[in-house]
Amino acid sequence: MKYKDTSELEITLLLEAVYRKYGYDFRHYSEAHIRRRIMNRMALSGLKDISQMQSMILKDETFAFKFLQDLSITVTEMFRDSGFFKSLRENAIPLLKTFPFVKIWLAGCSTGEEVYSMAIILMEEGLYERTTIYATDFNQQALNKAKEGIFSDELMKKYNENYQLSGGKKSFSNYYTSNYSHAVMTQSLKKNIVWTNHNLVIDNVFTQAHLVLCRNVLIYFNRDLQNKVQKLFFDSLINGGVLCLGTKECLHFTNFNNAYTDIDKKHRVFKKK
């Protein structure tokens, strides 16, 4: 294999070291994303080069944990891309209503905003009581925050706007209680959510799901890893199950381009053939 420069080789060796030492596999993530996160951590830590950073990662588990958090993508919000959630409500939920019980897998759930968004829609559509939501991420710190369901009041103002644009049917304030400068999601939303650590890169099929939702994650993977994860989603979905990717990702250029029919081409919602 030909390397463009020394830093590319150093990054390859660093990711190999992380995989062998800690079992987290970032070797097939987008090179641009990995390089940005490495350079940012180096600057924050005052390290002079990537080789020094690799040594720190191997010797200092606290530092390694910080680096792993850097590589986890936690940028999210409730009802983000409101048009997608409106489509989910109008096009996917009616299909789910045809099943006696429903399993939903939200992969790469980060700090939980999308999970609570899904729970609210299911509740308003009368489907929550017979649904189990499996919310997974490899970032345990993010999962812990998600499980708490505590968000700032300032964020809730923005989330309320998103909720209304997504076709919300009630007052958004019904779903949380204010506590000083924070909002706590209600227990009724949390009761059917199972929070679980799962790594899309190295773990196997998680459950047999009626719907799989994974948005703004695959864009950080290279082509080979996207194919691998798409196989994981395909194997996890029941026949006739729904795959939700959102507008930033698609099935083109993957091995599964012909494995689904379109439910909503714009918002990348598909039905497994």
User: What pLDDT score does 69 carry?
Assistant: 79
User: What pLDDT score does 95 carry?
Assistant: 96
DSSP 138-167: S-HHHHHHHHHTEEEHHHHHHHHHHHHHTT
Under-50 pLDDT residues of the chain: 1-3
Q: Quote the strand ranges of the chain, DSSP E.
A: 102-107, 131-137, 150-152, 176-179, 182-185, 193-197, 209-213, 237-244, 260-264, 269-272
Q: How many residues does the chain have?
A: 273
CATH numbers and ranges of domains, the chain? 6-71 (no CATH), 82-272 (3.40.50.150)
* β-bridge pairing 209-213 and 237-244: parallel
The single-letter code of the amino acid at 48 is K
User: What pLDDT score does 233 carry?
Assistant: 96
- Tens digits of per-residue pLDDT, 24-66? 788 878 888 889 889 989 998 999 889 899 999 999 988 988 8
User: What pLDDT score does 163 carry?
Assistant: 97
User: What pLDDT score does 205 carry?
Assistant: 86
User: What pLDDT score does 6 carry?
Assistant: 64
Tokens encoding 192: 């059917």
User: What pLDDT score does 75 carry?
Assistant: 66
- Taking the CB of residue 193, how many other CB atoms lie within 10 A of it? 23
Q: Strand, helix or coil at 182?
A: strand
User: What pLDDT score does 204 carry?
Assistant: 86
User: What pLDDT score does 206 carry?
Assistant: 76
Reported pTM: 0.81
